[in-house]
Amino acid sequence: MTNDAQYERRAREEPIYPFRDLVGFDLVEWAPGRCVIHLPVQDKLRNRAGLPHGGVHATLLDTAMGYAGCYSETGRITGLTLTLNISYLSRPRGGLLIAKGWRTGGGKSVFFAEGLVTDETGEKIATASGAFKHRLSE
Protein backbone atom coordinates (compact mmCIF):
# COMPACT_ATOMS: atom_id res chain seq x y z
CA MET A 1 0.00 0.00 0.00
CA THR A 2 1.41 3.42 -0.93
CA ASN A 3 1.72 6.08 1.73
CA ASP A 4 -1.02 8.18 0.08
CA ALA A 5 -3.44 5.25 0.11
CA GLN A 6 -2.45 4.49 3.72
CA TYR A 7 -3.14 8.09 4.79
CA GLU A 8 -6.48 8.18 2.96
CA ARG A 9 -7.45 4.88 4.62
CA ARG A 10 -6.42 6.23 8.03
CA ALA A 11 -8.66 9.25 7.48
CA ARG A 12 -11.64 7.08 6.49
CA GLU A 13 -11.20 4.90 9.58
CA GLU A 14 -11.27 7.82 12.04
CA PRO A 15 -14.57 7.62 13.97
CA ILE A 16 -17.21 10.25 13.21
CA TYR A 17 -18.00 12.10 16.44
CA PRO A 18 -21.23 14.11 17.04
CA PHE A 19 -19.86 17.57 16.18
CA ARG A 20 -18.26 16.29 12.97
CA ASP A 21 -21.59 14.72 12.05
CA LEU A 22 -23.44 17.99 12.81
CA VAL A 23 -21.15 20.16 10.66
CA GLY A 24 -20.76 17.49 7.96
CA PHE A 25 -17.08 17.65 7.08
CA ASP A 26 -15.05 14.76 5.66
CA LEU A 27 -11.54 13.88 6.77
CA VAL A 28 -9.97 13.00 3.42
CA GLU A 29 -6.27 12.76 4.28
CA TRP A 30 -4.49 12.33 7.60
CA ALA A 31 -0.73 11.84 7.63
CA PRO A 32 2.19 12.68 9.90
CA GLY A 33 2.22 16.46 10.20
CA ARG A 34 -0.67 17.17 7.85
CA CYS A 35 -4.42 16.86 7.37
CA VAL A 36 -6.97 17.69 4.65
CA ILE A 37 -10.70 18.18 5.29
CA HIS A 38 -13.53 18.79 2.79
CA LEU A 39 -16.88 20.39 3.52
CA PRO A 40 -19.58 20.96 0.91
CA VAL A 41 -21.24 24.34 1.51
CA GLN A 42 -24.78 23.70 2.73
CA ASP A 43 -27.58 26.14 3.55
CA LYS A 44 -27.36 25.27 7.26
CA LEU A 45 -23.80 26.67 7.30
CA ARG A 46 -24.65 30.09 5.84
CA ASN A 47 -24.86 33.39 7.71
CA ARG A 48 -27.39 36.19 7.14
CA ALA A 49 -25.49 37.33 4.05
CA GLY A 50 -25.76 33.86 2.50
CA LEU A 51 -22.06 33.06 2.92
CA PRO A 52 -20.54 30.30 5.05
CA HIS A 53 -20.37 31.60 8.63
CA GLY A 54 -16.88 32.55 9.82
CA GLY A 55 -17.25 29.96 12.57
CA VAL A 56 -17.35 27.28 9.89
CA HIS A 57 -13.93 28.36 8.63
CA ALA A 58 -12.66 28.51 12.21
CA THR A 59 -13.96 24.99 12.86
CA LEU A 60 -12.27 23.61 9.75
CA LEU A 61 -8.96 25.30 10.51
CA ASP A 62 -8.96 24.29 14.18
CA THR A 63 -9.79 20.71 13.27
CA ALA A 64 -7.30 20.35 10.39
CA MET A 65 -4.45 21.86 12.42
CA GLY A 66 -5.29 19.76 15.46
CA TYR A 67 -5.37 16.54 13.46
CA ALA A 68 -2.09 17.49 11.74
CA GLY A 69 -0.28 17.36 15.06
CA CYS A 70 -1.99 14.25 16.42
CA TYR A 71 -1.28 11.55 13.84
CA SER A 72 -0.12 8.28 15.35
CA GLU A 73 0.28 4.75 14.01
CA THR A 74 0.41 3.22 17.48
CA GLY A 75 -2.32 4.82 19.57
CA ARG A 76 -4.95 7.50 19.81
CA ILE A 77 -3.69 11.02 20.49
CA THR A 78 -5.97 14.01 20.76
CA GLY A 79 -5.18 17.68 21.13
CA LEU A 80 -6.56 20.69 22.94
CA THR A 81 -6.42 24.11 21.31
CA LEU A 82 -4.41 26.63 23.30
CA THR A 83 -4.48 29.51 20.79
CA LEU A 84 -6.14 30.00 17.42
CA ASN A 85 -5.48 33.06 15.25
CA ILE A 86 -7.52 33.42 12.06
CA SER A 87 -7.32 35.85 9.15
CA TYR A 88 -10.34 35.98 6.85
CA LEU A 89 -9.28 36.80 3.29
CA SER A 90 -12.18 36.28 0.89
CA ARG A 91 -15.48 34.54 0.34
CA PRO A 92 -15.76 31.20 -1.42
CA ARG A 93 -16.47 31.24 -5.16
CA GLY A 94 -17.25 27.52 -5.33
CA GLY A 95 -19.29 25.05 -3.32
CA LEU A 96 -16.59 22.99 -1.57
CA LEU A 97 -14.46 24.23 1.33
CA ILE A 98 -11.02 22.60 1.54
CA ALA A 99 -9.07 22.95 4.78
CA LYS A 100 -5.42 21.99 5.02
CA GLY A 101 -3.48 21.92 8.27
CA TRP A 102 0.19 21.26 8.84
CA ARG A 103 2.36 20.99 11.92
CA THR A 104 5.11 23.62 12.01
CA GLY A 105 6.95 22.72 15.21
CA GLY A 106 6.74 21.94 18.88
CA GLY A 107 7.73 19.18 21.23
CA LYS A 108 6.23 16.23 23.07
CA SER A 109 3.38 18.05 24.79
CA VAL A 110 2.77 21.25 22.79
CA PHE A 111 2.83 21.68 19.02
CA PHE A 112 2.30 24.52 16.58
CA ALA A 113 0.38 24.40 13.32
CA GLU A 114 -0.80 26.52 10.43
CA GLY A 115 -3.79 26.12 8.15
CA LEU A 116 -5.48 27.35 5.01
CA VAL A 117 -9.07 27.18 3.75
CA THR A 118 -9.65 27.40 0.01
CA ASP A 119 -12.48 26.35 -2.25
CA GLU A 120 -12.26 24.09 -5.29
CA THR A 121 -11.57 27.12 -7.53
CA GLY A 122 -8.39 27.88 -5.54
CA GLU A 123 -9.83 30.97 -3.85
CA LYS A 124 -7.96 31.56 -0.55
CA ILE A 125 -10.64 32.11 2.08
CA ALA A 126 -8.90 32.04 5.46
CA THR A 127 -5.55 31.27 7.08
CA ALA A 128 -4.72 30.41 10.67
CA SER A 129 -2.00 29.57 13.12
CA GLY A 130 -2.32 27.99 16.51
CA ALA A 131 -0.80 26.21 19.45
CA PHE A 132 -2.13 22.87 20.67
CA LYS A 133 -1.48 20.56 23.61
CA HIS A 134 -1.29 16.82 23.15
CA ARG A 135 -3.65 14.82 25.31
CA LEU A 136 -3.17 11.08 25.46
CA SER A 137 -6.53 9.33 25.26
CA GLU A 138 -7.47 6.73 27.81
Domain ranges in the chain are 3-136
| Burial environment of residue 10 by CB neighbours within 10 A (0 to 12, 13 to 18, 19 or more) | middle
Which pLDDT score is estimated for 64?
98
pTM here?
A: 0.92
Fold assignment, 3-136: Thiol Ester Dehydrase; Chain A (3.10.129)
The pLDDT assigned to 7 comes to 75
Provide block-wise average pLDDT over 10 residues at a time, the chain (138 residues). Answer: 74 84 94 96 95 96 96 85 98 96 95 98 98 82
Query: Smallest Cα–Cα separation from 88: which of 63, 60, 114, 54?
Result: 54
For residue 52, count CB atoms less than 10 angstroms from its CB and return exposed for 0-12, middle for 13-18, buried for 19 or more. Answer: buried
Q: Is 83 helix (H, G, I), strand (E, B) or coil?
A: strand
**According to the model, what pLDDT value does residue 74 have?**
79
